[in-house]
Amino acid sequence: MNSKHLDASFGLNALSAKLSILISAICLIAGLTAAYLMVKSERKQLLFEEYGVLTELSKPFIERFENLLDEKKRIAVDANTIVTEALYSEKALAEKVVPSKLVFGKDGSIRSSSSTNVAGVRSAAFLPQQNYSHEYKRIFAQTEQVWSQLAPILTDETFFNYYFISQDRFIRISPPNWALNVPANHDFRQDVFYEIGTPQANPNLEASWTPIYYDDIWERWVISLIVPLHYGGEFKGITGSDIELPKLQAMFPDKVGDAKLFVLNSAGQIIQFEGKTDIITRIGGTMNDELDTKNQLPVELRSQIDSLLANNRNESQGEFSIDDSKHIFSIQKFSDFDWYIGVYKTHSEALSAIDEIEVKFFGLFILYAVLVVLLLHQTLSHLVIKRIKALVSSSREVARGQFETAQKLAVNKDEIGLLNFEFGAMAGKLEKTMGDLRQELAEKEVAEQRARRLSKAVEFSGSAVVITDEHLNIEYVNPKLIEMTGFEKDHFIGQPLLVLMEPDMMILVEDIVQDLLARHHWKGDTLLHNTDKRALWVSLSVSPIRDDNHKVYSYVASAQDISFVKESQRKMEQLAYYDTLTGLANRALFRMQLKKSLALASRGHYSFALFYFDLDEFKRINDTLGHDAGDQLLLEVAQRLQKRLRAEDTIARLGGDEFAVLLSGINDRDQAADVALTIQNTLSQPIRLGSNEVIVSASIGITMASEQSPEEDVLLKHADLAMYEAKALGKNTYYFYNDTLDAAAKERLFIENELRIGIKEQQFELYYQPQININNEQIVGFEALIRWHHPTLGYIAPDKFIPIAEATGLIVELGEWVLWESCAFAQRMALKDHGSNISINLSARQFKDTSLIPLLEKVIAKTGIDAARIHLELTESMLMGDVEGSIKQMHQLKALGVSLSIDDFGTGYSSLSYLKRFPLDILKIDRSFIKDIPEDSNDMEITAAIIAMAQKLNLELVAEGVESEEQIDFLKINNCEVVQGYFYSKPVPEHEISLMVDKIQGNGF
């Protein structure tokens, strides 16, 4: 650039002009910003004061409303006290009342409606028929009398209605609509107004308000005041009253002072809001629906209410808009309803005073900014511009080679002083450049000396070293390589690098070439070609040598002898991956091969089958002939499998007598079945073990691999499940896995886990089926039958969970609970003058449990039951495993005084010789012999024979499964007096016993 141009005037491009303009703009912006912030601060202060005014406006109203709620709660509690005394006091229980007129409906309900009293008020009552008792006959009459006095007072101005609901779904209500219209199957326990009064939801027994909910009998939105009804420490039910939503809204004024009012519940739903009240009352719903009016709130207000509820605060202030009109609000929580009352007014009313002074603030700050600009401009010209011109002059002298002036520039402690310092230092650095060049030449000489030392190190290295050109042709080999291979140096020079490897390792050539072309590097283990023809394993590493431009111009290869390491690895792998007895693959190697096969199968061009089997009766042979014979047998089986199967198939011993085979190239089940038959035929040939000859068989589980095969653990599990299914089919066979096996196993595991939870959470209940003397039709006993009511799955049949409980041992804990519950039930029945026997089923595990006798002693002592009334039912099969032990256990049970019954007689062993030895009292004829009487004459003959035999042995008889009059007549003729079955009653829970007894004794069956 021509230096003459630098002397020209810059005009507006001058730095002083640009800085002045920039500073003017900054000051103006700063002034306006300050004015804005001051006005904003004033607005914020004024809004804060307005919030305080709004808060104070709502406090008197909240106090009046809370007083009104307290008064209603006091009235409700007093009414609850009156009802409690009128229904459950000793005076009430002794009082004779005129029975109410009851209507028994076909829908299973009992309803009663009172006549209109002098006050024009009528009440009605409802109860499901299955809950009816003498107690409720009294309650029907007494509540009608009480409601005729209380209802006119409570349903005048205080409440819309008044009602009492018991635990057994009894309701007395005025007005009568609910009791007259409620469905017979309606469960009050599911209603919000009942649930809030239960001990679980209300442990403090306090009067409580429900949320606003929809009542589909009244067809309107209501809120209920619920008071738990307790007497003698026992929860009897609840009393309650409702207030209609419109009447509740009428308690709130539209305005408080000059502000408007709105009301929200604890969930942020609108109760009262200007312009929304009529909309809310017109909203429909279904029974127990809670009021959902949150979407009626303005959007901005709704988000602030959500934040208030989420943070559980008692009050809040803020702003929101309605129809482009901005408002401020203050909201507070009041205690009893857990509701919020808010007051609000328009934003413009609150901020009218601040708008007048806003223009004055802005004008004042603009004037201030102009004065600051003038002052800064003068200061900048003196401190900055003159010093920059001096620096420009010095730079011209440096360009002419004069460095002294540049090094004498004033160095102040500011940015321009720093610039002067750096500019002066630049001249000194130029002089130093030549010295740096001389230093670089000296360092190059040192590097050449190091290269010569490195060459000597390679020459005498303990590792074989090879250097090639960029095309991998050998240019240099060190003496160590010649020593290791036995070849002369000329053998390698000019040859490709891969000439170092044994011909057997040429399979790696392609991978090595690909790695060197792609990454210019390769490292791995290989066999080194040598004159001794020995296995010379080396760790070979090939790395590039690059020039200054990072271009590869040579390669260096180094090789270390690792033959000893490889031999050690081979021996370790033999121990780690092969069975020491049979020489077959062990579990670890088999899983590795299975994983590889799965990976190949996932690519879609490989298929295989997995066999999983063990030797049937191996344990018997092992225990009989000894472990040495067992090992000899396993070795013979392994040798036969190796001879009959292909070399590419993987055969493994997984442990004990468990074997697995991985068959490659098996595409369908027919091929797999053929191999399975081959294995079974091979193993079925006699095997000589010393002087003994044995024949073994195998139960084989088979699973086929496919592209969608799961992981190896799952595949092994599938084959294992299939093997156990083969064993279940009788052994010496094979079975293919299918999804039902997995589903059955998962279901069994699920039931087992849920069973443990069910026992812990007491999800079980006992049902009782009566045993009837058909001569006088009197109940002589009950059989206790367990039922499982799962909280999510509902009823689970006993035949689904009892076998699992038996297999897992949970049946002992479950059986103990049944003993306690059934004996306590029998004692309760005795106290009600229904003394009868109780029949309890024992499982095989329970019968053999050593704690059974002490447990029975404790149960008899604690419950107070007469031991003779306990009938323990045993099955034939549980007694036959250890007959002598069973007889001893039965005598110990008889010593306690209990009776023993043989259950389901005729379906098990039915050995008369054993039956004569067993100390039995009762014989139960199985339902399978009864159900086809009188159609099946064979069943009639068998049943008659069983009855005659039992009478000869002086055994009592009980016939199970009796369902018809003809079966009753047949059993009467054959002198079988006691029967049990659906003809008289199905099994029922304890609370239905009274109705069942009335039905039987009243001949209503």
Question: 712 with 848, same domain?
Answer: no
pLDDT value for 767: 94
Dist CA 412 CA 119 (whole Å): 105
More confident site: 374 or 868: 868
Band of pLDDT at residue 289, cut at 50, 70 and 90: confident
Question: 189 with 74, same domain?
Answer: yes
- Per-residue pLDDT at 353 exceeds 60: no
Question: 563 with 663, same domain?
Answer: no
pLDDT value for 57: 74
Contact between residue 585 and residue 650 where contact means Cβ atoms under 8 Å apart: yes
pLDDT value for 752: 84
Contact between residue 362 and residue 347 where contact means Cβ atoms under 8 Å apart: no
- Per-residue pLDDT at 119 exceeds 60: no
The domain spanning residue 534 has which CATH number?
3.30.450.20
- Cα atoms found within 13 Å of the Cα of residue 910, Cβ hemisphere only: 13
Domain final residue, candidates 320, 351, 382: 351
pLDDT value for 382: 63
Question: 198 with 260, same domain?
Answer: no
Residue 434 lies in a domain: no
Dist CA 613 CA 727 (whole Å): 10
Dist CA 741 CA 744 (whole Å): 5
Question: 945 with 860, same domain?
Answer: yes
- Per-residue pLDDT at 438 exceeds 80: no
- Per-residue pLDDT at 185 exceeds 80: yes
Residue 18 lies in a domain: no
Question: 939 with 826, same domain?
Answer: yes
- Per-residue pLDDT at 171 exceeds 50: yes
- The tens digit of pLDDT for each residue in 736-793 reads 888 777 677 777 778 888 888 988 888 899 999 999 999 988 889 999 999 999 888 8
pLDDT value for 880: 66
Residue 165 lies in a domain: yes
Question: 235 with 253, same domain?
Answer: no
DSSP codes of every residue in 330-387: EEEEETTTTEEEEEEEEHHHHSHHHHHHHHHHHHHHHHHHHHHHHHHHHHHIIIIIHH
Question: 589 with 669, same domain?
Answer: yes
Q: What letter represents residue 710's amino acid?
A: P
Count of the separate structural domains present in the chain: 5
Dist CA 39 CA 34 (whole Å): 9
Residue 378 lies in a domain: no
pLDDT value for 298: 81
Least-confidence region, from 9-23, 549-563, 610-624, 730-744 = 9-23
- Per-residue pLDDT at 3 exceeds 50: no
Dist CA 519 CA 540 (whole Å): 16
- The tens digit of pLDDT for each residue in 215-272 reads 888 888 888 889 999 988 899 999 999 888 888 777 777 777 778 888 888 777 788 7
pLDDT value for 7: 46
Choose among 478, 747, 707: nearest CA to 601: 707
Band of pLDDT at residue 115, cut at 50, 70 and 90: confident
Question: 968 with 883, same domain?
Answer: yes
Cβ atoms within 10 Å, residue 860: 19
The domain spanning residue 837 has which CATH number?
3.20.20.450
- The tens digit of pLDDT for each residue in 46-89 reads 667 777 777 777 777 777 878 888 888 898 899 899 999 988 88
Dist CA 970 CA 973 (whole Å): 5
Dist CA 739 CA 760 (whole Å): 32
Question: 234 with 259, same domain?
Answer: no
- The tens digit of pLDDT for each residue in 651-695 reads 999 888 899 999 988 888 888 889 999 998 998 899 998 888 888
Helices within 155-260 (DSSP H only): 177-181, 192-195, 245-250
pLDDT value for 120: 64
pLDDT value for 881: 56
Q: What is the DSSP letter of 40?
A: H
- Per-residue pLDDT at 707 exceeds 50: no
Domain that residue 327 falls in: 249-351
DSSP codes of every residue in 50-115: HHHHHHHHHHHHHHHHHHHHHHHHHHHHHHHHHHHHHHHSHHHHH---PPPP-EE-TTSEEEEEPP
pLDDT value for 6: 46
What length is written for the chain? 1005
Choose among 316, 279, 319: nearest CA to 296: 279
State mean pLDDT over 637-659: 90
Dist CA 925 CA 904 (whole Å): 6
- The tens digit of pLDDT for each residue in 524-555 reads 888 888 887 777 888 888 888 888 788 888 88
- Per-residue pLDDT at 558 exceeds 90: no
Percentage of residues in the chain having pLDDT higher than 90: 19
Contact between residue 774 and residue 978 where contact means Cβ atoms under 8 Å apart: yes
The domain spanning residue 642 has which CATH number?
3.30.70.270
State mean pLDDT over 368-376: 68
Domain final residue, candidates 302, 328, 351: 351
Dist CA 589 CA 583 (whole Å): 12
Residue 8 lies in a domain: no
pLDDT value for 19: 67
Least-confidence region, from 357-371, 508-522, 845-859 = 357-371
pLDDT value for 492: 83
pLDDT value for 606: 78
Dist CA 175 CA 161 (whole Å): 6
Contact between residue 475 and residue 493 where contact means Cβ atoms under 8 Å apart: yes
pLDDT value for 912: 66
Region of 715 (left: φ > 0; alpha: ψ -120 to 50; beta: rest) is alpha
pLDDT value for 726: 85
Residue 749 lies in a domain: no
- End-to-end, the C-alpha distance of the chain in Å comes to 123
Choose among 837, 901, 903: nearest CA to 870: 837
| Residue 839 to residues 310, 774, 818, 947, 986, Cα–Cα distance (Å) | 58, 18, 11, 20, 15
pLDDT value for 248: 78
Mean pLDDT, the chain, rounded, equals 81
Residue 688 lies in a domain: yes
pLDDT value for 433: 61
State mean pLDDT over 804-828: 89
